[in-house]
């Protein structure tokens, strides 16, 4: 089957603002695409036909009255991962526990898109409470990869990646805790961007691990990802973890910045760039398609004149262990509120209060969520807190230090050995795998985060860019690579990503 590909978000907004088309027609076309493809792909949990159509008509009225200049995303259909709250429809987190939950408010990131003229057409599928790397831990069933419907889209933001890769919408929001934007972007041939922790408000994002969760966009291009980021980034008084630091002007991602050597589409103009490739990313164990994609990205940067430096991350091998101690511990605390009394599913006809709590949580949560809650509760229990949780926090500090020592200058820097402009590494150890292949092996799924979890622990910005397609068992599948930048250096990272995007010239689509 051939899936129709949506226009870019920027092109849609320009067309709607100019009067070449209308928001109503644009949204109607997106809803038709969703209705046609979603029964196969299962990208969406809910689709807002009437509400989206009404909002599109309201945008057309505003444009007719001369307000178009303020609407950066005028008429652009967008999708939200179903752990991002809206004041209409459901916010289920793909869980039976919240199957019927309706939020009384809209998340800050979603509201900023709406204020910019975007039209939310639906909520996308995901691993339950964002716990998973394949999309298979969803109460509503897995999303299917548009490149090969027998394969996963990755996770946990499976539906958002699927919706963009399948051409149903040009942009979608996801959340990234340990790789949940970057890994599915790699598996679906999309751009997936996780900003610095604290750069985008988490208010209205249902919490998994509060010190790690971050909202970011999926898009078909770095340009669209940068546009969405520029709208959703910034301080929010409702989120005390959001930074008051000013958001850098993204500018035009195709224009070079003389201060950082990044940007531009010509080759040979990036001699000052130093791109680090961690040695552990090239020491074996990857699928051949991943190694091929990494070589292609390295070659593209070399051709552009950048220096490639092999670097060490001495504590990288501890990242998975530290992440899967810290994240479940925070999840155990965050999900304690879903008890059948204040929120969520309540068991029928309980014998007593204890029976109600046990049965409500057992019935409401799927097996992976129950596994992580139990693990996290054990980690935080008496006698184990210091041995596990505190030790993981110490490891986290060392892991973060490895990254910042390579990317961020300090007073002891030797000017003859400049810091790196970015790190380049895979986003996942292999391309999209078959549905069911790893479902019975939690450790195999956890290892999908091997290249992403450490970056989340460090709170750094990172972006996945499609780099190559490969023949995998007779099927053409995409593989992405990720660029990692210093804290708060999203503008520079996006320019570097645009350089790489232009050089690798990834132009394939599901067919």
Just list the catalytic residues: 81, 156, 180
Q: Is 423 helix (H, G, I), strand (E, B) or coil?
A: strand
Q: How far apart, in whole angstroms, are the C-alpha atoms of residue 297 and residue 497?
A: 11
Find the helix or strand (DSSP H, E) in which 426 lies.
strand 422-426
Considering only CA atoms, which of 215, 208, 13 is closest in space to residue 109?
A: 215
- Does residue 156 have a cis peptide bond before it, meaning omega lies within 30 degrees of 0? yes
Q: How far apart, in whole angstroms, are the C-alpha atoms of residue 426 and residue 338?
A: 36
- Cβ density class 260-297: b for 16+ within 10 Å, e for less: bbbbbeeeebbeebbbbbbebbbeeebbebbbbbbebb
Find the helix or strand (DSSP H, E) in which 78 lies.
strand 77-81
Strands 171-176 and 214-219: antiparallel
Dihedral sign from CA coordinates of 235, 237, 239, 244: positive
SS3 per-residue string spanning 188-241: HCCEEEECCCCCECCCCECCCCCCCCEEEEEECCHHHHHHHHHHHECCCCCCCC
Considering only CA atoms, which of 405, 396, 407, 455 is closest in space to residue 428?
A: 455
**The token pair that represents 400 in the structure block:** 């973060």
Provide CB contacts within 8 A for 448, sequence distance 6+.
Answer: 133, 134, 154, 179, 183, 428, 429, 438
Q: How far apart, in whole angstroms, are the C-alpha atoms of residue 336 and residue 400?
A: 29
Considering only CA atoms, which of 274, 286, 295 is closest in space to residue 416?
A: 274
Q: Is 261 helix (H, G, I), strand (E, B) or coil?
A: coil
**The token pair that represents 17 in the structure block:** 């603002």
Query: Any alpha helices (H) in 281-352, and if so which ranges?
Result: 288-303, 319-334
**How many other CB atoms sit within 10 Å of the CB of residue 30?**
28
In angstroms, what CA-CA distances link 469 with 34, 294, 430, 472? 25, 12, 12, 9
Supply the Cα-derived Rg of the chain in whole angstroms.
22
Q: How far apart, in whole angstroms, are the C-alpha atoms of residue 146 and residue 132?
A: 19
Q: How far apart, in whole angstroms, are the C-alpha atoms of residue 263 and residue 248?
A: 15
């Amino acid at each position: 089957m051939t899936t129709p590909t949506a226009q870019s978000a920027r092109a849609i907004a320009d067309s709607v603002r100019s009067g070449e088309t209308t928001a109503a027609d644009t949204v109607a076309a997106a809803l038709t695409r969703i209705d046609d493809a979603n029964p196969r792909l299962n990208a969406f949990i809910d689709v807002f036909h009437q509400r989206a159509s009404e909002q599109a008509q309201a945008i057309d009225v505003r444009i007719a009255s001369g307000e178009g200049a303020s609407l950066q995303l005028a008429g652009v259909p967008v999708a939200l991962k179903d752990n991002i709250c809206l004041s209409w429809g459901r916010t289920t987190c793909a869980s039976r526990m919240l199957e019927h939950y309706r939020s009384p408010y809209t998340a800050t990131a979603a509201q900023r898109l709406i204020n910019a003229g975007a039209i939310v057409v639906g909520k996308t599928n995901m691993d339950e409470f964002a716990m998973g790397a394949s999309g298979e831990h969803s109460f509503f069933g897995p999303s299917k990869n548009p490149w090969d419907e027998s394969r996963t889209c990755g996770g946990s933001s499976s539906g958002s990646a699927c919706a963009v890769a399948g051409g149903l919408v040009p942009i979608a929001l996801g959340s990234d805790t340990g790789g949940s934007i970057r890994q599915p972007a790699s598996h679906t041939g999309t751009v997936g961007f996780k900003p610095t922790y604290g750069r985008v408000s988490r208010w209205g994002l249902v919490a998994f691990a509060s010190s790690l969760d971050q909202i970011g966009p999926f898009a078909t291009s770095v340009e669209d990802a940068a546009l969405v980021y520029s709208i959703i980034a910034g301080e929010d008084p409702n989120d005390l973890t959001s930074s008051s630091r000013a958001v850098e002007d993204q500018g035009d991602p195709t224009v070079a910045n003389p201060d950082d050597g990044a940007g531009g589409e010509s080759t040979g103009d990036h001699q000052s760039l130093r791109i680090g490739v961690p040695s552990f990313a090239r020491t074996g164990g990857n699928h051949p398609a991943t190694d091929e994609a990494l070589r292609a990205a390295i070659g593209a940067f070399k051709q552009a004149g950048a220096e490639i430096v092999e670097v060490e991350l001495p504590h990288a091998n501890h990242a998975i262990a530290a992440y899967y101690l810290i994240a479940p511990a925070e999840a155990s605390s965050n999900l304690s509120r879903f008890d059948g009394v204040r929120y969520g599913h309540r068991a029928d006809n309980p014998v007593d209060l204890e029976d109600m709590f046990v049965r409500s949580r057992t019935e409401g949560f799927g097996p992976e969520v129950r596994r992580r809650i139990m693990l996290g509760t054990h980690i935080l229990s008496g006698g184990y807190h210091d041995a596990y949780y505190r030790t993981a926090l110490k490891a986290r500090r060392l892991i973060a230090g490895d990254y910042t020592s390579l990317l961020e200058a300090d007073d002891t820097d030797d000017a003859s050995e400049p810091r790196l402009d970015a790190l380049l590494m895979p986003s996942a150890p292999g391309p999209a795998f078959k549905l069911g292949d790893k479902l019975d092996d939690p450790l195999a799924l956890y290892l999908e985060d091997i290249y992403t979890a450490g970056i989340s622990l460090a709170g750094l910005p990172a972006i996945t860019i499609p780099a190559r397609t490969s023949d995998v068992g007779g099927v053409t599948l995409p593989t992405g690579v990720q660029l990692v930048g210093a804290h708060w250096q999203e503008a520079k990272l996006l320019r570097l990503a645009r350089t790489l995007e232009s050089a690798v010239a990834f132009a394939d689509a599901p067919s």
